[in-house]
Each structure stands twice: as C-alpha cells, then as structure tokens.
Amino acid sequence: MLSSKKKIDIEAKELGKRIVEAVIDGQDVEIDYPKAGFMCSSCDAACYDCIAITSKNFHLCNACGKCFENCLHEVSKETYEKWYRLAKRNAVAYLSSRVIVSKLDPWVRRKYAVKEADRYSRIMEEEEDESVIGLLSADLGIKAEIGEDYRIHVASYLRCAARIKADNWRLINRKLESGWIVLDKREFLRLLKERLREKLEEPIAYAKGLEGYIARLSTKAQRERGDVKELGKVEVSCFPPCMKRILSDLQHGVNVPHTARFALTSFLLNIGMSVDEIISLFRTAPDFDEEKTRYQVEHIAGERGKGTEYSCPACDTMRTYHNCYGECEVSHPISYYERCMRRKMDENRRRKAKEKRERRKRGRDKADTGNT
C-alpha cells in the first residue's frame, strides 16, 4: 500500500504526511471517519461460534476476524464503498504517519505519540458503545472486563499508569480485589490513552514508497527544533545543571513534568528572556499547544491573573519535585547563573586588559624599532 500508485493510496499517504506536519507545527488535523454503530453488539446472527459474540463480552475477543469474514449483516453497496474507502484511507494514513515519524528525530516521534493519542482519546470519549471500548482495550493488550463497571487487571493497570504522576493513580491509593481494580469510564479511557501513547511511540522500520515525504519532513523538523545554544543574550553555558537538563529534555521531545516546566519558565523570565522567546523553546514539547503555552508563560511573567511575576523555585524545592540534577553548592538556580556570569565578566575584563597591554607593548616596540 505504501508504494502503491492508486489514487486512494496516494491521498492516504498525503494525509499521513499532513498528520506528521501538523505534529511538527503544533497544529491539529481533522480526519473524517465512519460514524456508525458497532453492528456486532446488536446482531443476533450466529456468524461464528465465539464466546465473545454469544456472550456479548467483546473484551474476550482475540481479533481473529472470523465474525467479520462470515458477517450476515446487509448494507447497500454505496454505504459499503463509502465506509471501505474511509477505513482504507485512514488505515494507510495511520501506517504511513507511523513510518514517517519513525525515520525522524526522536522528539518528533514522542510528540506524535502524545498528539495522536489525544486525538484518538477524544474519539473514544464520544463512543457510546462499550463493546468498541472492550475491543480497543483487547487490541492494545489490556486485560479488562467491561460490564456495569470497568475492571482492569492489576498487571495491565501498573503498565498503563506507570507514567501518570498524580498521587491518585498510585496503586496504594486504589482498591484491589482479587487482582482487579475498578475504575469509572473516564479513568479507564485515561489508561487506554497512556497505553496508546506508548504504542504509538514505537518505531516502524520500513520506508519504501515514503522516502520523499521523510526527506522533506526531516528538514522541516530540524528547522523547527532549532539549537539549544541559540538563546540570544542569555548565556546557556552558565545555566545550572537542572535548567540545562530540563531544557535539553524539552528540545529532545521529552514530556517534561509541569513542575520542571514552571521552574524553567520562571528561571528564563528572571534572567531576562521574553515571553515569545520562551514559547519558541516549548515548540518541540510533545504536547505543545501555543495558546495554552502562551497563557501559562504570560501568567508566570505576571502579564495575566493578579499580575504577580513568579520567582524561580529554590534548590530545596527543585529537589522536592525531583528536578535537581547536580550538587551545585548554591541555594538557588539564579545564584548559580549570576555567579557564573560574574566570573565570565571578570574573565572578559582580564582578557581585554591583557589584550590592551599587549597592544601597547607592540606599539612601544614598533616605536623603538622606528627610532633605532
């Protein structure tokens, strides 16, 4: 399909490219998809001898496809063709976008995983048929039971919730019954989203038929990422280890926690960077949203809300939130930066004074040579 010259496949690959391009630009892509009820949940036909169908417990489905292969449900040719084209286009677009991001910088793949998981999550939230949710969780390798409530096996829970930092997601704060944890729908979909993000971040090693797209988007991604050293009047070499680490993670597409983002933003504002300059640094963040980022940065800068400009957290606070990455022998990141800048200024003054003395000496030597 990826090397096909058929019109539908070319359109699908273009859509896949637009998806990746939107991720790099921090934009969203609206994709049309079939909005129809899940027929198997209402069909009484015994199309296949399967416990998932007879019991309507679709979480037991092993995705063998026999029920679809033997489906007796009739639809018009026009409806079938419409849904088939939409399904194929979306499938090829999905596959091509996965292949493209696999060949780009890791930060693009991480950002793609977050953005696409968000998009699919919104679709899942709109889904009213619990059978579809059950099929999706089974396809993602999640052991769950969906009936009057949502039950997930503890092993699947731990895997999905591992990167969620909020205290209420810690296993100790959950009720565990015979190896199962009961959730509401919103919580269950949150875990599906995390598992989907993890899956979308996995690379696919295949590019035949997509080389041109990859080359163009690779150039765009490099241009968008920029260089961590180019921060105008700010001296990156004087950043304390914590800020260097957070900034590096941010520019490499790592999903930096809120506490670290606040620390970096307030630090950069305190040392003289503008709101727009800081927003440009966040563009490579996996979940970048320009409108939300601008609001948050302006709020920290004191341009919104009560007009309070926030100070960068002290080292003790940085350690409390596990954002400290070195023993700097200072009590505050700003102190580290100012001390380093003073040292650089002193070095520059000494260097300039030395150059001035050397110029004078050369001038005197030249004058002595002329007199001789």
| Other Cβ atoms closer than 10 A to 358 | 10
Residue with the two structure tokens 């829970």:
157
Q: Do 61 and 188 fall within a single domain?
A: yes
Contacts of 284 (CB under 8 A, 6+ apart): 107, 111, 224, 225, 226, 250, 251, 252, 253
Nearest to 115, CA basis, from 28, 199, 25, 13: 28
Question: Which of 188, 218, 248 represents a domain boundary (last residue)?
Answer: 218
SS3 of residue 286 by DSSP: coil
- Residue 108 pLDDT grade (very low, low, confident, very high; cuts 50, 70, 90): confident
113 in a domain, yes or no? yes
363 in a domain, yes or no? no
Question: Which of 186, 218, 250 represents a domain boundary (last residue)?
Answer: 218
Distance CA 255, CA 253 (A): 6
361 in a domain, yes or no? no
Average pLDDT over residues 78-93: 88
Contacts of 334 (CB under 8 A, 6+ apart): 267, 270, 271, 312
Q: Do 202 and 240 fall within a single domain?
A: no
Q: Do 327 and 183 fall within a single domain?
A: no
pLDDT at residue 230, as a whole number: 45
Question: What domain count does the chain have?
Answer: 2
Contacts of 254 (CB under 8 A, 6+ apart): 107, 110, 286
Q: Do 29 and 177 fall within a single domain?
A: yes
143 in a domain, yes or no? yes
In order of 44, 61, 147, 193, 319, the CA distances from 54 in angstroms are: 9, 11, 15, 29, 55
| DSSP character at residue 205 | -
pLDDT at residue 352, as a whole number: 87
Contacts of 258 (CB under 8 A, 6+ apart): none
Distance CA 343, CA 185 (A): 57
| DSSP character at residue 346 | H
Q: Do 78 and 136 fall within a single domain?
A: yes
360 in a domain, yes or no? no
Q: Do 13 and 53 fall within a single domain?
A: yes
Q: Do 151 and 71 fall within a single domain?
A: yes
Q: Do 198 and 251 fall within a single domain?
A: no
Query: What domain range includes position 281?
Result: 227-334
Query: Is the model's pLDDT at 367 over the cut of 70?
Result: no
343 in a domain, yes or no? no
67 in a domain, yes or no? yes
Contacts of 321 (CB under 8 A, 6+ apart): 257, 259, 260, 263, 313
pLDDT, tens only, 217-259: 888 777 765 444 444 567 888 899 999 989 888 877 777 888 9
pLDDT, tens only, 330-360: 889 998 998 888 888 888 888 888 888 888 8
Q: Do 199 and 254 fall within a single domain?
A: no
Question: Which of 164, 187, 218 represents a domain boundary (last residue)?
Answer: 218
- Residue 53 pLDDT grade (very low, low, confident, very high; cuts 50, 70, 90): confident
Q: Do 112 and 75 fall within a single domain?
A: yes
In order of 161, 162, 181, 264, the CA distances from 175 in angstroms are: 15, 17, 6, 37
Q: Do 83 and 141 fall within a single domain?
A: yes
Q: Do 151 and 265 fall within a single domain?
A: no
Instruction: Please tell me whether the overall predicted TM-score, pTM, comes out greater than 0.85 for this model.
Output: no
At position 195, the amino acid (one-letter code) is R
pLDDT mean across residues, the chain = 84
pLDDT at residue 283, as a whole number: 78
240 in a domain, yes or no? yes
pLDDT at residue 48, as a whole number: 78
